Amino acid sequence: MALYLMRHGDFIPREIDPDCPLSERGVVEVTKAAELAAGRGARVFMIRHSERIRAAQTAAICAEILRPPGGCGEMAGLHPHDDIFAVLGLIEGAEDVMIVGHLPFLEKLAAYLVTGMQEKAVTSFPTATIVCLERDHGQDAWKISWKITP
């Protein structure tokens, strides 16, 4: 079972565009990251993202490249300061999920899954980074299998 955690790509600052969509650089880096993940054999069943436009755009680009059979859609509970425990049901109940979100949420989620503690950082998430975590069936702890930072 694999879990792909991805931070959205570089975005246009709020002072320029209050919606904070992906910048041109963000589109390029997300495309590159998704292509590298596909080249590594990433098999994503479904993609879930926050409702923020930069996360939705990032997820849409990944869906075009990775073609998840379970689709790509918005999910509540993926904002920067949301409680990570709200998404554990999705992680436990589905195989090969990609979650596209924000900091510090992704760092806390990765830390909890690997160490059991949200506060113990295990990896960083520059924009458009994908971290693949894997876990054997019947195991509680996840391990970081690979990381792509375009």
Q: What is the pLDDT along the chain (150 residues), one digit of tens a residue?
A: 899 999 999 999 999 999 999 999 999 999 999 999 999 999 999 999 999 999 999 999 999 999 999 999 999 999 999 999 999 988 887 789 999 999 999 999 999 999 999 999 999 999 999 999 998 777 778 999 999 998
Q: Give how many domains the chain has, as a whole number.
A: 1
Cut 0.75: pTM above it: yes
Cα(53)–Cα(110) distance, integer angstroms? 23
CATH number at residue 77: 3.40.50.1240
Structural domain of 24: 2-148
**HEC profile of the chain:** CEEEEEECCCECCCCCCCCCCECHHHHHHHHHHHHHHHHCCCCCCEEEECCCHHHHHHHHHHHHHHCCCCCEEECCCCCCCCCHHHHHHHHHHCCCEEEEECCCHHHHHHHHHHHCCCCCCCCCCCCCCEEEEECCCCCCCCEEEEEECC
- Alpha carbons 101 and 9: distance in angstroms, whole number: 10
Sign of torsion over alpha carbons 51, 55, 58, 63: negative
pLDDT of residue 57: 98
| Cβ contact 125:103 at 8 Å | yes
Supply the pLDDT for residue 119.
92
First to last CA, the chain: 24
